[in-house]
Amino acid sequence: MSKRTNKKRFFIVGTDTNVGKTLIAASLSQALIKCGKSVCAIKPVASGGDNDVKILKKYSTPNNLSISDINPFLFYDSIAPHLAAKKEGVELSVSAIVKKTSRALNCDADYIIIEGAGGWYTPLGDRESMADLALAYNCPIILVVGIRLGCINHAVLTYECMCNSGVKIAGWVANVVDKKMVYVGENIESLKLIIRAPLLGIVPYIKRLNRRQSP
């Protein structure tokens, strides 16, 4: 068991891939650290390389966790995790992910930030998805909405599915991912009328981070 029984966990999911989940996870981690809190940010499953994992590692409180502790399933092909796992002969399941992240989940930190992969229903196998992993972790969800054309439909569908699953939604973040997006404010206002959870922040367009940049 962890020494810190009052640690808080948040699971960060997105309306799609490439909507800025790592940016939000790293920014949240950095903000908590500035407030004097210890933070462990993890990404249980990653495909497309380890850049996101290294960013999370950089913006976590120094600890004795290894890269494999915070990211036990890493695939370098930029394809859906379940396809990448099959290609490499890896069995990917909710139970395996939870087991392999147990050390990180029980580390001596005030906050655990868990970043998902892809969207809410991104497959992990033939019958399980990222939604099942979120339910298994049983912690409040932060939804990252990528503000671009079509975002209202994607956000509402994701939000309704999350509500129907019974998870607790801590809030959502509007992250502008298309620098040419018009009517940004109007889109966000429309979403505020539909999503009955706190809008935690609005992030203007930022170029994709690498591990040398600050969020």
Give the integer Cα–Cα distance in Å for 85 and 101: 17
Q: Residue 7: what residue type?
A: K
- The question of whether 58 is a catalytic residue gets the answer no
Rounded to whole angstroms, the Cα distance separating 5 from 24 reads 25
Residue 84, strand partner residues = none
Token duo for residue 107: 């580390």
Q: What are the DSSP calls for 10-35, one per residue?
A: EEEEESSSSSSHHHHHHHHHHHHHHT
The sign of the torsion formed by the CA atoms of 129, 166, 198, 142 equals: negative
Pick the catalytic residue from 3, 43, 87, 99. Answer: 43
Nearest to 84 by CA among 57, 49, 112, 47: 47
Alpha carbon distances (Å) from 16 to 48, 66, 117, 118, 144: 15, 28, 9, 5, 9
Residues marked as catalytic: 43
